Structure 1
């Protein structure tokens, strides 16, 4: 059977846009649930019924992240077994309904439990949405489409900050969190309009369903995906364990170590600053409204920055852009120590957002492009799972600083140092090794590899 070319595989723009929009909605809802705790943390700190210490507040920020670590592993795997569409919708149901539970929770222990269970859905929605986005995007647009879809994450955090600004003074922190349950109303919409993965249907031998779905989506000249094992006569897939050991082979060990360190630091910055930035700025003398504005700018700048950095990385190289913007992000964090004007500090916060969230997005794409095609998913998934430990550490580090009675400047010094460590780790990543790769499932090998290089 001839290998299909990119021109043979025609996904209408409308279909790609529909998948992107559905996944964007799911990521937007997840971003709200991730960002809402940081938005209401100052109010929780003053909630006398619970009387939480700074370290306990940091612990509440980590419960969801623990769930996300587990959810990314198990729900991502289940999407390969029962379908991506079903697991994306199941993930949304989990984290939306548990937001309602967290808003109701009469004790901090129940609040943490609902956040932990909700984290399973939040962690699961990311790999599933990423897979659907990539599978329905043309090879030479996958990186940009991924960045566009994932902009919903930052905008969700923006929505959480806005909700806190307008709802918190009158409705309290419970009302702000309960808004995170509203996306459950989107589930019927996603069920109706989001298509299942064609690759999933074919991998389960449901080729007739895949062909019928392709016709429904107006994908002309549909060519079924060629199974990897049948691409070459007599070939057989590598044993499952080789996809893991390849990452730690002499060829890739150094790359794996420094990718993991840099992404660990990146997510530590994202979740540490997202959770504690309003409280840090309030301690620096800003009122609650102004401190939430910092979170708003932090997130909005990262949403725009993700698209800009993606374009720049395509043109100048991922490694250079990552190093430069991790350093700029660290400088932006450090300069917040000084008593600048509000406008200047907002500019520094914008650099901090770009140097943490936007860079982590580009770094994730860098990892996916770096490894051979037959271990790309495993390498990316393991790196993200390890980095979740950094995400869990971020809120705890902020809580430890607050509980240690250190000056608020210590937050900026420590987080800026972590950004510099991320930049140093990226510098240590060696150039990609040339390695044979399997032919593309949906395009000519040369065209697919060129598209990946463009990413």
Structure 2
């Protein structure tokens, strides 16, 4: 029989000092695998773009391709908002599983699509799963990671996104020229076969969610197993519809009411960059005068830079704070995008694209790391869901904007647009600490007397 919440005040809590990367390695590895497939599915579209445009039977044009990319990111917006709000009700594991199944199903629809309309519907379904997975994975890592290594753990998780992007590019280069783009999308069904069984068997549920559902013994067992503090009322989200609305309202409580929209703006700018570049970099480089093979390879290079950037930014942010790192990285991204406006020698172009990848993707990831610090534990999943969800508006705008630029044949304007978005992101994230001044300090782990109260 489960203990009552009042009983938690009488139960000694596990010290977070016992938590290390080794003790939570299995959790982070499972999230890493799921997000790897997320990154693979997102980047498959950009990796196959030249072949989609060349398929007369499908009926793609640059404008239609940009619209389909926006359908994907619109699905992500809905998925992120729903997942961030529902995860405290339904649990982390069921929503991770549902997200992986959804984007695998969407990839299968794309592989079978007879027209651009059906293809777009498949990408929308994929977007629901892709958008739902990211905030849940970030919330899981923020909860289970060692407290002083939270930014590094977030960066480590996001290396998987770029490893997935590199895998998608490699599959696109190896498979699409000889076997066609459809086989590349069939590879997007693999996550349902590999990741779902592993998640169902090994991914633990959030102790806070278990505690909120009244499963106190199970919550304590998970916390003890992974070296987490045993949850109390501060960590546990409120149950029911009232609790979900309360979590949303907390995003605009004193101390966060101005930080929340600033985080949304930073996420908007960051995701406009991430998805605009992931979708259109090969075509923009082709418009700048590079060959087809080189243009697709640039997508692999920028994702390789993203992996390096996640590790560098994570370690740096744990020392200096994710806000500072995110702001500086956004500014450096603007510089890299501005340099790409001109046709550079191939070797120099590869170096600039790699460095831009180092800064671009981790600038956005450090927005997530900053978000995890802004909100209290019971608000964190909802806060991350809304930051990623509202940010998806930028992900909707990015591909459409890129399509319009490519259709106009002006690659320089596309890179200038990305540079302006990076400056906007730097400005917004820089203002977050000012908006947080005066917020009452709240302990992530309540004292026994507080829990009893």
TM-score, scaled to structure 2: 0.87
Deviation at residue 409 of structure 1 after TM alignment: 1.5
Q: Distance in 2 between matches of 1:136 and 1:364?
A: 15
Residue in 2 aligned with 1:450? none
Residue 317 of structure 2, aligned match among 291, 313, 319: 313
Query: Do the aligned partners of 1:333 and 1:412 also contact (CA within 8 Å) in 2?
Result: yes
Deviation at residue 258 of structure 1 after TM alignment: 3.0
Pairwise mapping of residues 63-74 of structure 1 onto structure 2 (< 5 A)? Answer: 63-74=71-82
Residue 203 of structure 2, aligned match among 194, 204, 210: 194
Deviation at residue 84 of structure 1 after TM alignment: 1.5
Range with bigger deviation, 180-189 or 255-264 = 255-264
Query: CA 1:253/1:284 → structure 2, altered by over 3 Å: closer, same or farther?
Result: same
Q: Distance in 2 between matches of 1:141 and 1:5?
A: 21
Deviation at residue 122 of structure 1 after TM alignment: 1.1
Q: Distance in 2 between matches of 1:225 and 1:413?
A: 48
Residue in 1 aligned with 2:286? 282
Q: Distance in 1 between matches of 2:422 and 2:152?
A: 24
Residue 225 of structure 1, aligned match among 231, 235, 250: 231
Residue in 2 aligned with 1:175? 183
2:52 is the alignment partner of 1:48: no
Q: Distance in 2 between matches of 1:279 and 1:120?
A: 26
Residue in 2 aligned with 1:268? 272
Q: Distance in 1 between matches of 2:424 and 2:443?
A: 37
Query: CA 1:399/1:8 → structure 2, altered by over 3 Å: closer, same or farther?
Result: closer
Residue in 2 aligned with 1:415? 418
Q: Distance in 2 between matches of 1:7 and 1:165?
A: 49
2:427 is the alignment partner of 1:424: yes
2:166 is the alignment partner of 1:155: no
Q: Which secondary structure does the structure 1 equivalent of 2:340 belong to?
A: helix
Q: Distance in 2 between matches of 1:180 and 1:303?
A: 21
Query: CA 1:430/1:439 → structure 2, altered by over 3 Å: closer, same or farther?
Result: closer
2:329 is the alignment partner of 1:325: yes
Q: Distance in 2 between matches of 1:364 and 1:214?
A: 24
Q: Distance in 1 between matches of 2:366 and 2:190?
A: 30
Pairwise mapping of residues 389-404 of structure 1 onto structure 2 (< 5 A)? Answer: 389-403=393-407
Query: Do the aligned partners of 2:84 and 2:384 also contact (CA within 8 Å) in 1?
Result: no
Query: Do the aligned partners of 1:202 and 1:224 also contact (CA within 8 Å) in 2?
Result: no
Q: Distance in 1 between matches of 2:186 and 2:235?
A: 48
Deviation at residue 396 of structure 1 after TM alignment: 0.2
Residue in 2 aligned with 1:453? none
Q: Distance in 1 between matches of 2:163 and 2:133?
A: 16
Q: Matched residue pairs, number?
A: 434
Query: CA 1:146/1:372 → structure 2, altered by over 3 Å: closer, same or farther?
Result: same
Structure 2 unaligned runs (5+)?
Answer: 1-8, 237-241
Q: Distance in 1 between matches of 2:113 and 2:281?
A: 25
Query: CA 1:371/1:184 → structure 2, altered by over 3 Å: closer, same or farther?
Result: closer
Q: Distance in 2 between matches of 1:79 and 1:282?
A: 42
Query: CA 1:211/1:104 → structure 2, altered by over 3 Å: closer, same or farther?
Result: same
Range with bigger deviation, 350-359 or 56-65 = 350-359
- How far does the alpha carbon of each residue in 1:101-129 deviate from its partner, in whole angstroms, 9 at most, with x for none? 21111111111111111211111111222
2:105 is the alignment partner of 1:107: no
Q: Which secondary structure does the structure 2 equivalent of 1:160 belong to?
A: helix
- How far does the alpha carbon of each residue in 1:311-345 deviate from its partner, in whole angstroms, 9 at most, with x for none? 22233343332232212111111111223221211
- How far does the alpha carbon of each residue in 1:335-379 deviate from its partner, in whole angstroms, 9 at most, with x for none? 112232212111211232233211000112112213455644444
Query: CA 1:425/1:205 → structure 2, altered by over 3 Å: closer, same or farther?
Result: closer
Q: Distance in 2 between matches of 1:416 and 1:139?
A: 33
Residue in 2 aligned with 1:79? 87
Query: CA 1:151/1:411 → structure 2, altered by over 3 Å: closer, same or farther?
Result: same
Range with bigger deviation, 193-202 or 374-383 = 374-383
Deviation at residue 43 of structure 1 after TM alignment: 1.1
Q: Distance in 2 between matches of 1:375 and 1:176?
A: 39
Deviation at residue 288 of structure 1 after TM alignment: 1.8
